[in-house]
Structure 1
Amino acid sequence: MTTPIEKVSFTVPTRDEVSDNNKSIFDHMQKAFGMVPNLYATFAYNDTALADYLALQNRKSTLTAKEREIINLVVSQVNDCKYCVPAHTAISKMHGFTDDEILQIRRAQISFNEKYAALATFVKETAVNKGRPSENALENFFEAGYNKASLVDVMMVIGDKIMSNYLHNITQIPVDWPAVPNI
């Protein structure tokens, strides 16, 4: 006779529950932002994952902060991440995007900037088709002014977002960002 498997549940690790290395990162985030976002704290279940993830996010890139936010929003929307869409909506507003522009970005139907439109379409097709965008999306991406180095940087940000989206989609830790409209 087998016993039923208990449902696995996740809570957000507190500072007292994480490694010394992660405590230091928590302290830095608390000082810099006034909080440790729940998803970052969830990476701290592992002794090194939070630092590794932050290194990936903070790497030098050919992309602007706005371009990275476009990628973050598009991939998070494709992956239906209830944490990352609100988080990157708030961050996108800090970078100057309006509410209407953010909705266009999430849909990957941008009318306010041709270069951003090519990026969003390329990213959405790449995410939906598991790394296989259409030839047209790829050509438009390069014609918009991106190059091979940009392509690699886009893939790095897509990979970053897939990790965080999947971590939240599995753990379902509480969202600590303002709610956003569903689309």
Structure 2
Amino acid sequence: MAHIKLPEFEDMSPEIQEKARPILEKTGQLGEIFKLIALDEKIYFATDMMVQKYLLEKTTLSYDIKEAIALLISKENGCKMCVDVHKSIAKMLGLSEEKIEQILQGVESINTTEGEKALLNFCIKASKKDNYKIEKKEIDALKEFGYNDVQILEAVAITGYFNYINTLSNVFALGE
């Protein structure tokens, strides 16, 4: 049970209801994270924009990589709720149970290219408190695998997004 009272759909502002209605109609429920951020319109709309731009729209990174980042960072941060949600999303996007389990076992267990493993390991390192220790040579190594500046930036932005969402979920005990 969440540490604070989460609003139900009917208690949300009309502007948030308008944005949340398609989720509610499609899935039959609003997840606790949507309810939590609905407490503040600014947080809700800023977070919704990140979801739309980073995760739902087609970007320079594949949906497979974005979901792998979501799963790895959420697991790293101990966010069971986000791991469970993104396991379901990964399945909807066509990732096999086997691939999802490989991801959850860690980067070295994933049957993928060395370049993708390097990017995923970089994201895990970027998610840590000592990410300020990342050096230019680590970014240059990703470029040697063919990643460009925009792809690296996007991967780090997604990593930061999951640190943010995992923090909200963990602090307020969502999904427990």
- Using the size of structure 1 for normalisation, the TM-score is 0.80
Q: Shift in Å at residue 10 of structure 1?
A: 1.4
Correspondent of 2:43 among 38, 49, 52: 49
1:164 pairs with 2:162: no
Equivalent pair of 1:71/1:120 in contact (CA under 8 Å): yes
What residue number does 1:18 align with? 12
What residue number does 2:30 align with? 36
Equivalent pair of 1:109/1:117 in contact (CA under 8 Å): yes
Q: Shift in Å at residue 81 of structure 1?
A: 0.7
- After TM superposition, the runs of 4+ consecutive aligned structure 1 residues lying more than 6 A away are none
1:123 pairs with 2:123: yes
Q: Shift in Å at residue 95 of structure 1?
A: 1.9
Letter paired with 1:41: K
Equivalent pair of 2:7/2:38 in contact (CA under 8 Å): yes
- Render the CA deviation track for 1:98-146: whole Å, top value 9, x for unaligned: 2332233231224411132122111112213542446675344222221
Q: Distance in 2 between matches of 1:111 and 1:143?
A: 20
Q: Shift in Å at residue 171 of structure 1?
A: 0.5
Q: Distance in 2 between matches of 1:10 and 1:79?
A: 21
Q: Is the radius of gyration larger for structure 1 or structure 2?
A: 1
Change (3 A) 1:95 1:143: farther
Q: Distance in 2 between matches of 1:88 and 1:136?
A: 31
Q: Shift in Å at residue 53 of structure 1?
A: 0.9
Q: Distance in 1 between matches of 2:33 and 2:44?
A: 10
What residue number does 2:73 align with? 75
| Secondary structure, counterpart of 1:109 in structure 2 | helix
Q: Distance in 1 between matches of 2:92 and 2:144?
A: 28
Letter paired with 2:163: I
Q: Distance in 1 between matches of 2:95 and 2:38?
A: 31
Q: Shift in Å at residue 12 of structure 1?
A: 2.8
Change (3 A) 1:133 1:93: farther
Equivalent pair of 1:18/1:47 in contact (CA under 8 Å): no
Aligned length: 168
Percent identity, aligned pairs only? 20
Equivalent pair of 1:73/1:105 in contact (CA under 8 Å): yes
What residue number does 2:111 align with? 112
| Secondary structure, counterpart of 1:128 in structure 2 | coil
Q: Distance in 2 between matches of 1:15 and 1:140?
A: 47
- Give the root-mean-square deviation of aligned CA atoms: 2.2
What residue number does 2:3 align with? 9
* Between structures 1 and 2, the one with greater helix share: 2
- Using the size of structure 2 for normalisation, the TM-score is 0.83
Question: Bigger shift: 157-166 or 15-24?
Answer: 15-24
| Secondary structure, counterpart of 2:108 in structure 1 | coil
